[in-house]
A and B are shown apart, each in its own frame.
Chain A
Amino acid sequence: MTISIWRYSHLTLAISSAIFILIAAITGIILAFEPISNQIKPYNYIDLETVSIAETITVLQNEYDEIVSLSIDENSFVKASVITKDGKSASFYINPKTGEKIGELIPKKTIFEFATNLHRSLFLKSTGRFLVGFFSFFLFLIAITGVILIAKRQGGFSKVFTKIIKEEVNQYYHIVFGRWFLIPIIIITLTGVCLSLEKFSLLPKDYSKHKTLNTKTTTQKLKTTDFEIFKNIKLNQVEKIEFPFSTDEEDFFFVKLVNKEIAVHQFTGQIISEKKQTLVNLLSNYSLFLHTGRGSIFWSLVLLLSCFAILFFIISGFSMTLKRRKKTDTLNNIIMKDEAEFIILIGSETGSTFKYANAIYKALIEQKKKVFIDELDNYTSYKKATNLLIFTATYGDGDAPANANLFLKKLKEHQPINNINFSVVGFGSTNYPEFCKFAILVQANLQIHENFTPILPLFKVNNQSFVDFEKWFTQLKNLYKFDIYIDESQIFNSKEKTIIKVIEKSDLNIDDTFLLKLKLKKNIKFNSGDLISITPKNEKTPRLYSIAKVDKHILLSIKKHKFGVCSTFLQQLSKENNFEATIQENKNFHFPKKAKEVILIANGTGIGPFLGMIAKNKKTKISLFWGGRTKESLKIYKPHIDKALKKGSLNSFETAFSRESDSKIYVQNVLKKYNHFISEFLKNGNTILICGSLAMQKDVELVLQEISEELLETSLEEFKQKNQIKTDCY
């Protein structure tokens, strides 16, 4: 419940202020260049620490009739206002050592003038200033709610800066940049508010007055350049000196220093009065500096990047919202809720769970079942419902996703009319410690409810894996004796079937295996480890094969089964033949990026995707373990392996043959011999990929379990949770 408040605030604040923040960010980007362009002007080559006030006055008095004022700006440029010998007033930058004029005052460029006006008042004067200040505060609130959301997602404030799990690009960078720019954005917004308050005179007034100091009355007249105080104070301490207007005794030198203001008698050089810098002054000075970056190229660049980050937040934030919206909109019921026998309810954070739910919905509708689909939060009573299928994700550390906050509460409120059979499918990522926790909670709540009966145990789908989902689906199908299939083109983005051309086919090897080299007609992105889904003619159920990407082509390693429809179909293809298929991304089984070391374990045709990974490898040290029946089984892969070993893209290759000698050796037996190597390997956080038969996977995992327990005193489960074990077995 609490999350939804933060999320709701975050989104509402963002939507209501987006236009203003957009304008402020764009103009902010332009304005960040102003202090930079000023700072790079060459007017500050003298170190002000080495020049005293008296020195500068001496040189100026030689040049000009009268000095009106002297000021030093945030860029350490010294500006003099003088009356020239021909009686004209003039202001310019000087070299404080020589009194020479070194440049005209920098006029504000029209573009900066325009941007400043738009930035602080939208050309709407007071109203605009108020709006800008107001939405600056909104942006501050957005930043705060954002941090709370990150904290919730990562599982606590202490974990705000822990590793983020990458699910969706927009979301991932929204969080990454959110953390980087949190502090600058808070500073920008608060100083922005401060500056607005100041302009509306809402900051506490500065009532401090000059305090008159008791000075000994000396009548001794001194030359200005002989004043002790002017000799002692260096220019780096000075902000401004105002010279006396006339020779009247009442007219003083007003000297504004970094930390105080003093009035100096124009003849004796004594300090008449002084005023200390107040807190309000300090606050408004710092606000101005922090908000505009004036005088500091570094801070200007920070501000510049923050503005870009804000633009990114607006764009990525809206794209996430739209995506979620779009997916929610895809629920098109054709049957009323009280007519339906099957109820499908969805709990989704980013909207991706909808794809799966919709696929099941369509499959059931095609079977002429009466189905009603909705979000978990809309749970109510359903008159004729006898079956409930729940698909739900989990938010962060085990909380309900965005549209499922109310479900558990509503479950208590609405008593079902019939007894209902249910099944829960949890979607999540094993990268999170609380994998599918909300789904577990839903399952538990239904299980203890007297009107609900579980028909299947809780199923967990990792990283949107279609393979995981299919396992659940197959069980459901068998249970209900349905003759239905899922059209996975609905689930995966590469909806379209593509035409694929055979460019090479190897002869059938000794144990009925062969390699097929295919070319995509369309330019579709894919990687080794992705899946190709092929539906043979007159068949409804597609078959999935793991892809190897070699020289931009697809390489498939296939075993022809005697009665296998698909493998027979593929075997009968010849060069230049075309057929249709879809490519499915399978992120779970991609080669780990930037890994130093990887172990690949396969048996039989499971070596397929690994051939692609090895071919592409440049820097990773790969150890490949492969099990086959006989040495002859290796024949079709050998050219690839030899080439890789020679090139160095494959570091070591270990084989196990089960029919070569009397003692049957399997790949897991070989692994045992390398137990110390493997334990070190896992301890260092490296990844093992396993591809091949389910039986082999089971045996290999047993060996890995033994190694973990004996040498590392932990269970294999720990490494699985850390995503160090990736499998694609069938």
Chain B
Amino acid sequence: MKLKEIIKIIPFFILTGFLLFSFTESATKSPYKCMIQMKNYSGEGAYIVISLLNPEGKYEETLYVQGDDDEWYFDITEWWAFQGKKRADIDAITGATISGGERKISVIQIPDNKIDKGYKIRFESAVEDQDYHKDDVEFELTSTNVKSKIEGKGFIRYIRMMPQ
């Protein structure tokens, strides 16, 4: 092959490479500040799992876990059916439990390409010896929702999201 031809091909390679890269880039994530404000319940600290659900309503990814004692994870029944099998590494996205009346702010990473595509964000909550709320907070992942405040149905009073 002549050198000239090779030089001609280079842009093609660059383009392909770029395209390939940008497809993997499809997992580009942006940080969002997320605040969970708990109701004034009494009892132990709550375990809360924030997950991303696909348009079929199936678990896609675990975004954050409040509660670091995995002994109690099976209390969060629905999610545990997913995580228990998959055992994704969640060490980096795990924090302490939140007690009644407290608020907690954490930064969660949401894939950009899942916004406005029918995906959902779900907040499950469970308190030792008390209830388990499968969808304490659940909302459509839209560009407006990620800047808003959403009321909870269980232990969570409300959550607020804000792009970082």
Contacts and interface: CB of A to CB of B under 8 A. Distances in A.
Interface of A: 66, 68-69, 81, 83, 87-89, 91, 113, 125-126, 129, 198-199, 201, 242, 245-246
Nearest to A117: B71
A280 to B, nearest CB: 11
B164 interface: yes
B44 A199 contact: yes
Interface of B: 31, 33, 35, 42-44, 69, 95, 103, 105-107, 128-129, 160, 162, 164
Nearest to B162: A246
B129 A69 contact: no
A279 to B, nearest CB: 16
24 contacts: A66-B33, A68-B105, A69-B105, A83-B164, A87-B107, A87-B164, A88-B31, A88-B107, A89-B95, A89-B105, A89-B106, A91-B95, A113-B69, A125-B128, A198-B42, A199-B42, A199-B43, A199-B44, A201-B43, A242-B103, A245-B105, A245-B160, A246-B160, A246-B162
Contacts of A199: 42-44
A126 B162 contact: no
Contact of B162 (A81, A242, A245): A245
A201 B43 CA distance: 7
Contacts of A129: 129
B107 A83 contact: yes
Contact of B129 (A66, A81, A126): A126
Contacts of A201: 42-43
Most chain A beta carbons < 10 A, residue from B95, B129, B162: B129
Contacts of B162: 245-246
A88 B109 CA distance: 9
Nearest to B164: A87
B131 to A, nearest CB: 13
Nearest to B31: A87
Interface class of chain B by DSSP: strand
Contacts of B44: 199
A199 B31 CA distance: 36
Contacts of B43: 199, 201
Contacts, number: 37
B141 to A, nearest CB: 19
A87 B31 CA distance: 7
Given A199-B43, A201-B42, A201-B43, A81 B164 contact: no
Most chain A beta carbons < 10 A, residue from B69, B107, B162: B107
Contact of A89 (B103, B107, B128, B160): B107
Contacts of A242: 103
A53 B129 CA distance: 38
Nearest to B92: A88
B107 A245 contact: no
Most chain B beta carbons < 10 A, residue from A81, A89, A246: A89
B65 to A, nearest CB: 13
A493 B32 CA distance: 80
A69 B33 CA distance: 14
A81 B107 contact: no
B161 to A, nearest CB: 10
A68 B95 CA distance: 14
A89 B35 CA distance: 12
A42 B4 CA distance: 68
B27 to A, nearest CB: 16
A198 B69 CA distance: 22
Contacts of B105: 68-69, 81, 89, 245
B2 to A, nearest CB: 47
Given A68-B105, A91-B95, 5 more contacts: A87-B31, A88-B31, A199-B44, A245-B105, A246-B160
Nearest to B41: A201
Contacts of A68: 105
Nearest to A91: B95
A246 to B, nearest CB: 6
A199 to B, nearest CB: 6
Contact of A245 (B33, B42, B128, B164): B33
B160 to A, nearest CB: 6
Nearest to B64: A89
A246 B106 CA distance: 13
A113 B96 CA distance: 14
A126 B44 CA distance: 11
A129 B130 CA distance: 13
A477 to B, nearest CB: 72
A83 B33 contact: yes
Contacts of B106: 89
A326 B112 CA distance: 79
A83 B31 CA distance: 11
Contacts of B129: 125-126, 129
Contacts of B69: 113
A264 to B, nearest CB: 15
B127 to A, nearest CB: 11
A245 B35 contact: yes
A118 to B, nearest CB: 13
Contacts of B160: 245-246
B115 to A, nearest CB: 17
Contacts of B35: 245
Contacts of A66: 33
Top 4 nearest A-B pairs by Cβ distance? A87-B31, A89-B107, A68-B105, A126-B129
B63 to A, nearest CB: 13
A174 to B, nearest CB: 37
A89 B66 CA distance: 13
Contacts of A198: 42
A200 to B, nearest CB: 8
A430 B128 CA distance: 60
Contacts of B42: 198-199, 201
A89 B164 CA distance: 11
A246 B105 CA distance: 11
Contacts of B31: 87-88
Nearest to A203: B42
A87 B33 CA distance: 9
A129 B44 CA distance: 12
Nearest to B101: A206
A198 B43 CA distance: 8
Contacts of B95: 89, 91
Contacts of A126: 129
A242 B106 CA distance: 13
A698 to B, nearest CB: 77
A198 B41 CA distance: 11
Most chain B beta carbons < 10 A, residue from A83, A125, A242, A245: A245
A91 B107 CA distance: 12
Nearest to B130: A126
A429 B104 CA distance: 68
A268 to B, nearest CB: 22
